[in-house]
Chains A and B, each alone.
Chain A
Amino acid sequence: MLFEYVFLGFHGHATTVTELVSTREGFGNLFYYLQRGLDFYRNAVEFQGVWKQQGKKIANFLQTNATLITPEWIRFFVENDFLVGVSLDGPKEVHDQVRHYPNSKGSYDDVMRGIDLLRQARIFNGIICDISTINHLFPKEFFNFFIENNIKKLKFTRVKSIGHYNDVLSLVISPAQYADFMIVIFNLWLELDDPEVEIRDIQSVVSLILGGNRRECIYMGQCDQFVTVYSDGSIYGCDSFPKTDALYFGNVLDEQVKVKSNARLQNFRELLEKRKEHCRTCDWHFICKGGCAKDCYKQLDSVEPLSEVCENLKRYFEHISAKIRSYDLV
């Protein structure tokens, strides 16, 4: 197996999909960012058909702001088993501050309309909510907002500056602020005690503490398994490092053996191993496995994680662990 998860970022061509799938031996998890017209996805699905007939299992996931979802899109998604996640940054007054059209009109109303359409079709795959300087002090309000709107599959991410969007530096919060936010969210999740509410980061940590093995990517220690493919078929590492030369692994048109033996890919894998080794004696290594290659390190070639990130991750893990231990579950 070459890569586990493939993100078709930015302006990928449909033809790259068939090449991607052809390099895979079994299961293919393809994630798209919705930036193309419907014809692109129709072509992609048609190309996939060839490989599905040969027994390959392909799962399609799509992340969108949902503002342009129409009944026609819905029909296509339903017919082709797509699951669709939506980016929603909380209540209208907050969301519209950070997600607006060029004319400054907020997108909240259109996003919620798209969510309704997806929900009616039973293909809504939850939301991703960016946590920033604008909203990090309001975890309770945010949690209640989502629950009141019957949005129960949640993922909270810390805004980070990765260089390919507009300047977001003024929105970036510290690891401590993010940990504070997530600790309150964990408490609220526990207090509500609704098994239908899924908060992926929290449930990863809970699962791992309870002896399970379900992990978010940031706790896998396998950043080499996440790649992004661009319109020319070029394969780069995780999209947190957009088009970073040191993570250019080849092209979907290359022979598989050539990509597998790519020196940059080998270097990256060696780096990940060094990081894991460095953290081996930490009590929380069994959860974070060296952590997110982007969030936890100063530079791409750093072996030692940032102490500020570690301290706050530990504080977050310790809080959850203490609560679980209080019920004698471990």
Chain B
Amino acid sequence: MLNPVSVSKPKPNPIPKVLLQAKKEAATQTLEGRAAYEKGPWDKGHWANRK
């Protein structure tokens, strides 16, 4: 009789933190709309210096 072979399932890649953060931010932006835009990262210069 053959011994049972244990087959381990490959672990799915964990979702990168940068994408989880982006997903969370996207949800917040959708909920708060323009208000979030005006009070948000602009004030910290996040998207500020375009050129």
A residues 193-216 touching B (CB-CB < 8 Å): 193-195, 197-198, 200, 203, 206-207, 210-214, 216
Q: Which 5 A-B pairs have the closest CB atoms?
A: A212-B26, A85-B49, A83-B45, A210-B26, A125-B45
Q: Mark interface residues in B8-32 (1 if CB within 8 Å of A CB, else 0).
A: 0000010111110111011101100
Closest-by-CB residue of A relative to B15 is A327
A-B contact pairs, 18 of them (CB 8 A): A5-B50, A31-B51, A59-B42, A61-B49, A63-B51, A85-B49, A126-B45, A128-B49, A190-B16, A190-B18, A190-B19, A195-B21, A200-B47, A207-B29, A211-B30, A213-B30, A324-B19, A329-B23
Contact size range, B: 20 to 34
Do A29 and B42 have beta carbons less than 8 Å apart?
yes
Interface of chain B, helix or strand or loop or mixed?
A: helix
Nearest CB in chain B: distance from A39 CB, A:
23
Contact flags B29-50 to A (C-beta < 8 A → 1, else 0): 1100100011001111111111
Residues of chain B within 8 A (CB-CB) of A194 are: 17-18
B19 near A59 (CB under 8 angstroms)?
A: no
CA distance A7 to B51 in the complex (A): 10
Report which residue of A5, A155, A195 has the largest number of chain B beta carbons within 10 angstroms of its beta carbon: A195
Docked Cα-Cα span, A214 to B46, in Å, equals 11
For residue A241, CB closer than 8 A to chain B, the reply is no
Q: How large is the interface on A (under 10, 10 to 19, 20 to 34, 35 or more residues)?
A: 35 or more
Q: Which of B45, B48, B51 contacts A239 (CB 8 A)?
A: B51
Name the B residues within 8 Å of A128 (CB-CB). Answer: 49, 51
- Knowing A125-B45, A126-B49, A198-B46, the reply to whether A212 touches B25 (Cβ < 8 A) is yes
Whether B27 and A155, one on each chain, are in contact in the complex, defined by CB atoms closer than 8 angstroms, is: no
Cβ contact within 8 Å between B48 and A85: yes
- Which of A83, A157, A206 contacts B48, CB < 8 Å? A83
Q: Say yes or no for A10: interface residue by CB 8 A criterion.
A: no
